[in-house]
A and B are shown apart, each in its own frame.
Chain A
Amino acid sequence: MQEAMIAKAKAMLADGTVDRVIGWKRGEFWYDITPAVFETAEEIDRDLVFDDFTAANVSKYLIKECVKGGGRILVFLKPCDTYSFNQLLKEHRIDRGMIYVVGIECYGKIDPDKIRNRGITGVKSAVNDCGTLKIETVYGTETMPAYEVMAERCLSCKSKKHVVYDELIGEDGEVTDSDRFDMVEKLENMTAQERFDFWRGELSKCIRCNACRDVCPACTCEHCVFDNDKSGIANKAPFSDFEENNFHIIRAFHVAGRCTDCGECSRVCPQNIPLHLLNRKFIKDINSLYGEYQAGADTDSRAPLTDYTQDDCEPSVVHERGVE
């Protein structure tokens, strides 16, 4: 896969179809991979990587690259990234004409935290041999089935289908029958107090680094209300931790109906807060209240929260659903 990507990127740079390539750059170790913009074949040969650890969704970088102007941009998108891409198109944040999308097959990515949580450290290399991850460390060798340390979002992958591409490398997959709402259901079945305690416990870990917001492809405001002193809700120094929790709730509301469930928020959270569950709750509710809807699946449908139909639920649903 990586070889095919490198060949494709170099060919398109060489024939002038594109003048830069967005992909992933290898790091110091086995897992610390950085999204990167490549401009030369030399950089691509040396640094471009695609493996079990190239987890970042690079679609949001297209906003910045489109603003820069210049020639066309080649971007490599995993299936879940293509939903973000479509949503960005729908919101007029990126210019389709400037972008050449190469869809790439994905089998799921590994979560380095899951490896660390097994007490594995001092890692020198990690190789995936047909689904078995072999990790060499200064303390010895460890092997495990790769799926055991796969990221949560990949274990409940919603789709292996590329919803947009100009060209594919590898096979296209199908929308999968995912169990991604299981945890949401579990939370729904809790008592209000249990649920409150769960979220207070999780959200109180927040250090307000804003990584979830800054990585989120749905968070594309030029000046976030939380950074704007004049908005009245900027709260860099919250005077209570409850107020701090509001940040996440307000953010979830703001991306509701636009969140594609790419899971980047939870991936980047340094405190491992399962932020995607807030978004999934909205997605699940939208599905049940307005009919099945997947943000980013297409670029022309009307989104349920910005559309009005006579079948829309009544506001009283809030009251009915609030009853235990």
Chain B
Amino acid sequence: MLRIKLDRIDELLAAIAKAQTLYLPVDRSDGQAEFRKWTEGARLSNALNTVRSAKDFFFPQTEKLMEFKTEGKKIEVVDTREDCEDFVIFGVRACDARSFEILDKVYLVDPVDTFYKNRRDHATVVTMACDRPAETCFCHAYGIDMTEPGGDVTCYKQGGYLYVNANTDKGTRLVETVASLLEDGDTAELEKAKAQTKEIYAQLPLAKLSMDNFGGDKMDEYFNSPKWKELSEACLGCGTCTFICPTCQCFDIQDFNTGHGIKRYRCWDSCMYSEFTKTAGGQPRPSQLERFRQRFMHKLVYFPANNEGEFGCVGCGRCLVKCPISMNIVKVMKALEEK
């Protein structure tokens, strides 16, 4: 497999950035990591995950859909869509890489969302295998192998080297542009390291978590579970879990009159918010219990019911770390499973 010495990784990043716009996780001063556009001197973060997931690249927090010009009773719709530039997302973890496939199941099915597809088409995803999983990880439950994260190109860190393997045509083209920096290397040690990571993972507290009791056939059983009251009791109704979640994809559409033209935006929305389903005529989810239930039923039951068993979760663990009151999908699953 091709590889480069880890102490030369900045050269590799610079070479990629020369060819295409490059985004990579970097450490912020507060100790957390976030994806940023590469600039001279940018250092690749060693963090397991960024606070905001990589979904932002395809499903940004806010995006303009169109503009309107109005004059008297007349309206003109201005299609402001433009072809997105080619870009590379470097250092995507296995969980986030899987989340793209889940988002695809929403945005690329008929009718295709052209805003999403445009960015998806122009992105090359370079993943980074995990070698230091955290107690909040449970990607295995969804059949994800954190040591084989996939994407267009997979990178592995081992023994002072960064190994680079192209998985797709897009990936091959990217690797070719930086081929002069790479050399061939033996992978025996890398394979050993992967096995070691898996051994460590097996000792983590959530390593035995299983999805066997969840899926599209559990609608009645779980919707009517008496556990929701207790589970949702402390929920603040904030949007933290939804916004940091790599698979949460609900949105709102809002218009803004800027004073010189009207712009229509799409922005993240959260089923945890009270006005999410509120209409002038009523509210099908009147309390936080129903809203809380919706989020987890969607991930554990409704999504698999509509998508051949695929769950709306990748086990990245962000919600386990970030929920202000530490309520999360793992606690929900364990509670629902208790008879």
Contact = CB atoms under 8 A, between A and B. Distances in A.
A and B touch in the complex (CB under 8 A): yes
Interface string A110-141: 00110011010111100000000000011100
Interface string A12-43: 00000000000000011101111111000000
Interface string A265-288: 001101110000000000000000
Contact of B233 (A29, A33, A37, A117): A37
Interface in A209-251: 209-211, 213-215, 227, 236-239
Nearest to A61: B234
A137 B205 CA distance: 10
B320 A209 contact: no
Interface string B194-207: 00000010011110
A124 B34 CA distance: 26
A227 B275 contact: yes
A56 interface: yes
A208 interface: yes
Interface in A138-167: 138-139
Interface in A22-73: 27-29, 31-37, 56, 61
A32 B234 CA distance: 13
B252 A34 contact: no
Q: Which 9 A-B pairs have the closest CB atoms?
A: A237-B267, A268-B324, A117-B31, A32-B326, A214-B236, A211-B238, A237-B265, A209-B239, A272-B30
Nearest to B236: A214
Given A34-B325, A56-B325, A236-B269, A209 B252 contact: no
A122 B206 CA distance: 10
B234 A35 contact: yes
Contacts of B328: 32
B21 interface: no
Contacts of A32: 320, 326, 328
Contacts of A227: 273-275
Contacts of B193: none
B331 A239 contact: no
A34 B326 contact: yes
Contacts of B234: 34-36, 61
A61 B235 CA distance: 10
Nearest to B278: A227
Interface residues of A, number: 43
Contacts of A36: 230, 233-234
A188 B334 CA distance: 49
Interface in A69-93: none
Contacts of A56: 324-325
Interface in B306-331: 320-322, 324-328, 330-331
A31 B136 CA distance: 11
B320 A239 contact: no
Contacts of A139: 132, 200
Question: Which label, helix, strand, loop or mixed, suits the secondary structure of the A interface?
Answer: loop
A4 interface: no
A96 to B, nearest CB: 22
A207 interface: yes
23 contacts: A28-B330, A29-B136, A35-B325, A117-B31, A117-B32, A121-B133, A122-B132, A122-B135, A122-B200, A122-B204, A138-B203, A139-B132, A205-B28, A207-B52, A208-B239, A209-B239, A214-B237, A214-B238, A236-B267, A237-B252, A268-B324, A270-B244, A272-B30
Interface of B: 28, 30-32, 34, 46, 48, 51-52, 61-62, 132-136, 200, 203-206, 230, 233-234, 236-240, 242-244, 252, 254, 256, 258, 263, 265-270, 273-275, 320-322, 324-328, 330-331, 334
A315 to B, nearest CB: 29
A215 B236 contact: yes
Nearest to B30: A272
Given A29-B205, A34-B326, A56-B325, A121 B134 contact: yes
Contacts of B258: 239
Contacts of A267: 324
B64 to A, nearest CB: 8
A50 B31 CA distance: 27
A211 B324 contact: yes
Contacts of A272: 30-32
Contact of B254 (A119, A205, A214, A237): A237
B205 A27 contact: no
A138 B204 CA distance: 7
A23 B124 CA distance: 48
A113 B205 CA distance: 19
Given A122-B134, A138-B204, A215 B30 contact: no
A238 B206 CA distance: 38
A56 B233 CA distance: 14
B330 A239 contact: no
Contact of B238 (A116, A121, A205, A215): A215
B338 to A, nearest CB: 12
Contacts of B132: 121-122, 139
B265 to A, nearest CB: 4
Q: Which of A28, A37, A237, A238 has the most CB of B within 10 A?
A: A237
B199 to A, nearest CB: 9
A33 B258 CA distance: 44
Nearest to B64: A239
A54 to B, nearest CB: 10
A239 B263 contact: yes
Contact of B327 (A29, A34, A210, A213): A34
Contact of A123 (B135, B327, B330, B331): B135
A267 B328 CA distance: 17
Nearest to A117: B31
A270 B322 contact: yes
Nearest to A238: B62
A239 B256 contact: yes
Given A122-B132, A236-B252, A27 B32 contact: no
